[in-house]
Amino acid sequence: MSIAAALPGRAAGNPGIAIGGALTLALLLTAALSLLWTPYSPYAIDVPHRLALPSMRHWFGTDALGRDVVSMLMVGAQNSILVGVIAVSVGLLAGTALGALAAARRGWVEEAAMRLADFTFAFPAILSAIMLTALLGAGIVNSIVAIGIFNVPIFARVTRGSAKAVWQRDFVLAARAAGRAPLGITLVHVLPNILSALIVQATIQFANAILWEAALAYLGLGTQPPQPSWGRMLNDAQAQLFQAPWLALFPGVAIMLAVLGLNLLGDGLRDLYDPRMARR
């Protein structure tokens, strides 16, 4: 398509997308590297060297049990990406299906689907996620489920809104006149035309998922020890805030950079894909 062809040229003129892309890439590379190598094992407890200051041996110091903070952060990145990717995929698949169905069928199906989405929106997502993990039990799987569920209505709304506009377009009317079934029209004509909106939304939801996972882990409801998680590292660091402030600093900065990177990337992509921007 013409928009896709014009993308690389316009990306160069957008510093947000460059910075966001670089930060996101760094996050992915760190996680990938941690699968192969970390300076120390993130599970290796070394009590005599607890709360060590950042040094050449331990770049970011050690935590209250003497574990290496760099190693824990690296493996924590894996954890954040795992939760983000799965939770967003769940939301993307279910939400898009629901939204596309609503746009294609209209009538009571649309009403029912959108009121269901409104209903889920009425609860603050993080509060509902806390409730859900408290109910199902703490753990990484349940936090993925909780975050995934609250991604569904977000994608359903984006899909339905964009899809309804596409359904009004002439080529869709032509396809309908030619007798194509609604499912075929949705797959062939509607989805490719709303893909950009979904990609932008997915990037931003990825950032939110990382933030929510950190919040759940901070509250002790997400990833369970000893599996490292940025949110739980923050919680653990809180007790030593006066003796070892760097323990709170490093995971805090990691969360901030990851979320910032994904948000910049999302914003940049939106600017790129937006047809109004294309006319400039």
Partner 1 sequence: MPRTACVIAALALALLPAPAPAEEKKTTLVLGMVLEPPGLDPTSGAAAAIGEVTQYNIYEGLTRITAEGTLAPLLAESWTVSPDRRTYRFALRRGVRFQNGEPFTAADVKFSFARAAAPGSTNKEKAVFADIAAIDTPDPATVAITLTRADPNFLFSLGESTGVILEPKSADGDATHPIGTGPFQFESWVKGASITLAKWPGYRDAAAIGLERATFRIISDPAAQTAALLAGDVDAFPRFGALDSLKQFQGDARFTVTIGSTEGKTILAINNKRKPLDDVRVRRAIAAAIDRTAVIDGASNGMGVPIGSHYTPNDPFYIDLTGLSPYDPAKARALLAEAGVSLPLKLTLTLPPPPYARQGGQIVAAELAEIGVEARIETVEWAQWLDGVYKRKNYDLTMISHVEPRDLAIYANPDYYFQYDSAEFRAILDKVGAAADAGERGRWLEAAQRRLAEDQVNAFLYVLPQVTVAKKGVAGLWRNSPIFANDLAAVSWQ
Interface positions with partner 1 (CB under 8 A): 43-45, 47-48, 50-51, 64-66, 137-138, 215, 218, 220, 224-226, 238-244
Interatomic CA distance for residues 240 and 279, integer angstroms = 54
**For partner 1, the closer CB: 54 or 161:** 54
Least distance (Å) from partner 1 to the CB of residue 258? Answer: 17
Compute the Cα dihedral for 47, 49, 52, 57 and give only its sign: negative
Least distance (Å) from partner 1 to the CB of residue 136? Answer: 13
**For partner 1, the closer CB: 2 or 243:** 243
Residue 206: Cβ-neighbour burial (10 angstroms; 0-12, 13-18, 19+)? buried
- Token pair 């006149």 is found at 177
**For partner 1, the closer CB: 54 or 252:** 252
**For partner 1, the closer CB: 231 or 266:** 231
Least distance (Å) from partner 1 to the CB of residue 272? Answer: 34
Identify the three-state secondary structure at position 68.
strand
Interatomic CA distance for residues 111 and 113, integer angstroms = 6
Identify the three-state secondary structure at position 62.
strand
Least distance (Å) from partner 1 to the CB of residue 139? Answer: 8
